[in-house]
Structure 1
Amino acid sequence: MAEKKTSSAPGGDTGFRRQWDREEYAAKAREREAKERAEGKLRAEAKAAGKKYYAPVADDAEMISARRERINFEENLNKSQLVPGSAAVGKRGKGAGFYCEACDLTYKDSLQWVDHLNSKQHLVATGKTAEVERATLEDVLKRLEWLKRQREQREKGEHWDLRKRLEERQRLEEEERIRKREKRKEAKKRKRAVEIKKEEGATAAAEQAEDVEMDDDAAMMARMMGFSGGFGSTKKN
């Protein structure tokens, strides 16, 4: 921080104001401009080479390691959030979705969110490198021992005796037989309904054909007896 300079002017209404070291802040501005020019040059070179520019990794950056906790995708489920009016445009800034404070980006779906967490951009922003720490022999032995304990615990928890296995198998087979029996009954019912419908249709067609045949016989008899209009009544109601 620049040292505060006190005014030597006696009295006056500006004697209480803070004085700044112009040379110090001019040097900071020159340093910032030089850094921006160097970064712009690197960006241009990366663009010309068809690559994406990443900020240089800090000297004290940590190597990446396996994630030790699950990603909570349901953290904001069924919750209301207040977001800026322009939050729906692009990914920059905080909006509705998965927000990364380190990179100031918002993602709308979980797949893009996970890809971003594993990206080099996020690793650099969180002070990590893209290099994986090489495991030593001791680390490998510890990992194998841990996996062995996990397998033993899993086998103990899933161990069933022979009687329970047979009972479970019999129960499943009985449920399968009942399901197949009910399925056959339903199929027989549907088949019987179709047959009844066909029989009813055939009976109705036979009755209609018989009525037509009787009408033809009556008309022929009327013509033989000299009646042109048949035996029907000519009285008008």
Structure 2
Amino acid sequence: MSNKQGAYGARAGDTDFRKKWDKEEYAEKARKHDQEEKERMQENEELLKQGKKPRRGRKDDLPKPTELMKRREGSLDLDKNLNKTIVVQNTGNRGPGVPGFYCETCNRTYKDSAGYLDHINGRAHLRALGQTTRIERSTVEQVRARIAYLREKTKEASNAKSFDFEKRLAEVREREAALREEKKAAKKTLRERARVQLAQETVPAAPDAPKDNNDMMAMMGFAGFGTTKK
């Protein structure tokens, strides 16, 4: 072996800096992969016998469900971008920023709200959250508490509705009173107009009243102010 040294004092033929590959580890991974493929082929044979579609790839390494399915606490806001124009930040086909509905848990994007809703209610999404598709069974105390809450809520709604009815009734009464006042004022105006017209018709006219200005001038002795020339 050569005794030449490199620039950093190490021997030129020394290869200890290279990564060491654990052959046993990768052999174990290969055996595990072969076992999974064998199980998948056997499962596909059973599915074909049952007339079902075979599974193409391996199952995702999802965690085992540790809790029952829970109710969503917040709203999905599926219509928050309705009739809006948004800027597309991601020009790819997957990931956030792509037009559609994106699921951060599963890193999948759906083009419409129906597909997105089916996904978040599906088994794969719940499995990724560590939940099963079974719902927790309510106890007697929980049912009683829920009934009491609904009764109180119904009572509050009934009181609010009664208050609104009284307020509405008062507004209707005020409007009817205003209409009556308007009708009364209109009738009074008509009566005053009819009384004035009747008074004008009943005043007697003077028998020797002049008919026009010429008769008045002749009665006062004025013949005219014009000339006799023609």
Normalising by the residue count of structure 1, what TM-score does the alignment of the two structures yield? Answer: 0.53
Number of the residue aligned with 1:68: 73
**Secondary structure at 1:130 match in 2:** strand
The answer to whether residue 21 in structure 2 is matched with residue 14 in structure 1 is no
State whether structure 2 residue 90 is matched by structure 1 residue 83: yes
SS at match of 1:158: helix
Choose 59-68 or 69-78, whichever is displaced more: 69-78
- Give 1:64 shift: 0.9
Deviates more, 1:30-39 or 1:153-162: 153-162
Structure whose alpha-carbon radius of gyration is higher? 2
Aligned residue among 109, 122, 126 for 1:123: 126
Tell whether the 8 Å contact from 2:102 to 2:109 is kept in structure 1 after alignment: yes
Where 1:96 maps in the other structure, the secondary structure is: coil
* 1:102 positional shift: 3.5
Note closer, same or farther for the CA distance 1:96–1:68 as it changes in structure 2 (3 Å cut): same
CA distance change for structure 1 residues 51 and 132 in 2, over 3 Å: closer, same or farther?
farther
The alpha-carbon deviation at position 97 of structure 1 amounts to 0.6
Is the 2:69–2:133 Cα contact (8 Å) retained in structure 1? yes
When you count helix as a share of all residues, which structure comes out higher? 1
Quick one: distance in 2 between partners of 1:111 and 1:79?
20
Give distance in 2, aligned partners of 1:34 and 1:28.
10
User: How big is the alpha-carbon RMSD for the aligned residues of Structure 1 and Structure 2?
Assistant: 3.6
* Paired residues, number: 159
TM (norm. structure 2) is: 0.54
CA deviations on 1:5-49 (whole Å, 9 max, x unpaired) are xxxxx8444212231321022112321332243244335534553
Q: Distance in 1 between matches of 2:175 and 2:102?
A: 48
Does structure 1 conserve the Cα–Cα contact (< 8 Å) formed by 2:105 and 2:125? yes
CA drift at 1:98: 0.7
- The 1:50/1:108 distance shift into structure 2, 3 A limit, reads farther
- Unmatched 5+ stretches in structure 2: 1-9, 177-230
1:72 aligned partner, one-letter code: D
Equivalent residues in 2 for 1:49-60 (5 A)?
A: 49-51=50-52, 58-60=63-65
Distance, in Å, in 1 between the alignment partners of 2:69 and 2:165 is 47
Contact 2:63–2:128 (Cα < 8 Å) also in 1: no
Cα deviations by residue, 1:120-157 (Å, 9 ceiling, x for unpaired):
23222332211112222222222223323322333344
Task: Give the counterpart letter for 1:30 in structure 2.
Answer: R
Structure 2 residue identity aligned to 1:160: F
Contact 1:123 1:130 in 2 (8 A): yes
Whole-Å separation in 1 of the counterparts to 2:174 and 2:119: 49
1:162 deviates by 5.7
Q: Does 1:133 align with 2:136?
A: yes
The amino acid across from 2:69 in the alignment is I
Counterpart residue number, 1:33: 34
Q: Which residue is equivalent to 1:210?
A: none
The verdict on how the C-alpha distance between 1:130 and 1:14 changes in structure 2, with shifts beyond 3 A counting, is: same
| Paired residues of 1:64 and 1:128 also in contact (CA < 8 A) | yes
Q: Percent identity?
A: 35
Partner SS state of residue 138, structure 2:
coil
SS in 2 for 1:135: coil
**1:73 Cα shift?**
2.0
Residues 171 and 23 of structure 1: is their aligned pair in 2 closer, same or farther, counting only changes over 3 Å? farther
Q: Which amino acid aligns with 2:75?
A: R
Point out the more displaced range, 123-132 or 48-57: 48-57
Q: Structure 1, unaligned stretches of length 5 or more?
A: 1-9, 88-92, 174-237
